[in-house]
Chain A
Amino acid sequence: MSTIRYMEMIRERYSQLGYPVYQWYHADEPPAWTPLKKPLAESRVGVLCTAGTYAKGQVAYYYKDDTSIRSIPKDTMVEDIRFSHLTEQYLPAARKDPNCVFPLAPLKQLENEGMVGEIADDVLSCMGAVYSQRRTREELIPRVVDSFRTQGVDLAFLIPL
Chain B
Amino acid sequence: MCHQTVGLIARHLEAIGIPTLCMGSALDIMEASNPPRAVFTDYPLGHTTGMPDDPKDQYEITRIGLEAFENIQQPGTILKLDREWTLDFNWKADTLDGTRGDERSSRDETPRYQLEEDRIAAEGA
Contact = CB atoms under 8 A, between A and B. Distances in A.
A110 B112 contact: no
A72 interface: no
B83 interface: no
A40 B69 contact: yes
A77 interface: no
Which of B13, B61, B109 has the most chain A CB within a 10 Å cutoff? B13
B79 interface: no
A6 B28 contact: yes
Interface in A30-87: 30-36, 39-40, 43, 45-46, 48, 50-51, 54, 56-66, 82-87
Given A7-B28, A40-B70, A34 B17 contact: yes
Contact of A91 (B23, B46, B54): B46
A141 B103 contact: no
A110 B93 CA distance: 35
A99 B50 contact: yes
A3 B47 CA distance: 15
Interface of B: 1-29, 32-36, 42, 44-55, 58-59, 61-63, 65-67, 69-70, 75-76, 92-93, 95-96, 98, 101-115, 117-119, 121-123
Interface of A: 1, 3-9, 12-14, 16-17, 24-27, 30-36, 39-40, 43, 45-46, 48, 50-51, 54, 56-66, 82-97, 99-103, 105-107, 109-110, 115-116, 126, 128-131, 133, 136-137, 140-141, 144-145, 148, 153-161
B64 to A, nearest CB: 11
Contacts of A50: 2, 5-6
Contacts of A31: 10-11, 14, 34-36, 75-76
A63 B51 CA distance: 26
B18 A34 contact: yes
Contacts of A17: 102
B84 to A, nearest CB: 10
15 contacts: A1-B93, A5-B28, A9-B95, A30-B34, A30-B76, A31-B14, A43-B69, A48-B9, A64-B108, A96-B53, A99-B55, A106-B58, A158-B6, A158-B35, A161-B48
A45 to B, nearest CB: 7
A40 B66 CA distance: 8
Given A31-B36, A133-B8, A56 B118 contact: yes
